[in-house]
Amino acid sequence: MNYYNEIKETLVKNEIYKKVKDYSKNKSDLKAYFEVGRLIVEAQGGEKRAKYGNKLIKEYSERLTRELGKGYTERNLRNMRNFYNKFKKWHTVCAELSWSHYRCLLSIDDDNEFNYYVMIVKKFNLSVRELLERIKSKEYERIGFKEELEEPKINTLIKNPIMIKVGDKNKKLSEYALHHSILENMDDFLKELGIGFAYIGSEVKIKIGNNYHYIDFLLFNYKFNCFVVVELKVTEFKAEYIGQIIKYMNYVDKNIKELVNDKTVGVVICKKDNKYVLEYCTDDRIFTTTYKVK
């Protein structure tokens, strides 16, 4: 079998198809590059010997560039080979991602991490730039998926730590300054906090008995159909924060949430964890995380 001619023919057909069927050119690219990857692996003698086939890839790259033009560098051909090795079967490829998305992901060896980023690109229609930002910030590690991906629960979607954008990250921040920085970058904060969060209000005034209190941030999570009370602290987690946030959560449940909504949850964002205190925080509606400034 002449593998080079098969590869060349696959790529030529793809270019022709994309000009005729512009609306489905992404799927055409993926299918063509998957097939090229398969042919390269076979030409190199199978997956076990594929890593020794750089000489063959260099030869193919030079010939394709000479005969078809730009776009067939050694790196691109290696990406196609890795793309095939990642999936093995075409029906497991998600055509909702572009080839540019996959090129960003192919350097990730861990299958769970790879699948996590595929999932969030699909769910939030992330651009390549947005995907790169999430990979760079090590989002997967901060969310903490270590086992096989399951339908996520709200506590698994809250990262630890979360990154908060501030003007001067070397300056010691007060709660007011940190609060103000979040308000100025609310879209970034919601994305950083996790999946499905929407902004409702800041410094939300509530009256309990004869006293007024202020909820730092009131959010809504559309994925889990619940309000989310967020309290921001620039100290280590303290036991009294539990009582404070439970009080706010109960208020929201009684006075704001509708019957169709699930029970309110609370998130305490602190400068540092306190594992000894957290050990006795048994309410499964309260979640904690720490923050770092960027």
Residues 174-228 have pLDDT tens digits of 899 999 999 999 998 998 887 789 999 999 999 998 999 999 999 999 888 899 9
> Per this entry, what is the length of the chain?
294
Residue 236 DSSP label: B
- Residue 217 has a pLDDT of 97
* % of the chain at pLDDT higher than 90: 48
**267 or 148, which is more confident?**
267
The CA distance from 121 to 132, in Å, is 11
**Cα dihedral: 210, 213, 219, 221 (round 10):** -50
The CA distance from 260 to 45, in Å, is 59
Q: Extract the tokens encoding 229.
A: 């009370």
Q: Which pLDDT band holds residue 63 (cuts at 50, 70, 90)?
A: very high
- End-to-end Cα distance, the chain: 55
Reply yes or no on whether the pLDDT at 152 is more than 70.
no
Residue 240 CB-half CA count within 13 A:
3
In the chain, where does the domain assigned CATH 3.40.1350.10 lie? 155-293
Of 69, 74, 39, whose CA–CA distance to 59 is shortest?
A: 74
Q: CB-based burial of residue 185 (10 Å sphere; 0-12 exposed, 13-18 middle, 19+ buried)?
A: middle
For residue range 76-101, list pLDDT tens digits in order. 999 999 999 999 999 889 989 999 99
Q: How many CB atoms lie within 10 A of CB 228?
A: 26
Q: Identify the CATH class of 155-293.
A: alpha beta
Q: Where are the alpha helices (DSSP H) in the chain?
A: 3-20, 25-43, 54-68, 74-87, 99-105, 111-124, 128-136, 139-143, 175-184, 186-193, 240-255, 275-278
- Residue 83 has a pLDDT of 95
Q: Which pLDDT band holds residue 160 (cuts at 50, 70, 90)?
A: confident
Question: In the chain, what are the helix, strand and coil shares in percent, each to the nearest 5?
Answer: 55, 20, 30
| Average pLDDT rounded to a whole number, residues 242-267 | 93
The CA distance from 235 to 238, in Å, is 8
| Average pLDDT rounded to a whole number, residues 48-66 | 78
Cα R_g (the chain), whole angstroms: 25
Lookup result for tokens 């300056």: 171
Predicted TM-score (pTM) of this structure: 0.58
Helix (H, G, I), strand (E, B), or coil: what is residue 106?
coil
**22 or 170, which is more confident?**
170
- Cis-peptide into 161, omega within 30 deg: yes
- Residue 169 has a pLDDT of 72
- Residue 261 has a pLDDT of 92
- Residue 54 has a pLDDT of 75
- Residue 131 has a pLDDT of 93
- Residue 155 has a pLDDT of 52
Q: CB-based burial of residue 38 (10 Å sphere; 0-12 exposed, 13-18 middle, 19+ buried)?
A: buried
| Average pLDDT rounded to a whole number, residues 166-179 | 82
CB of 235 closer than 8 Å to CB of 273: no
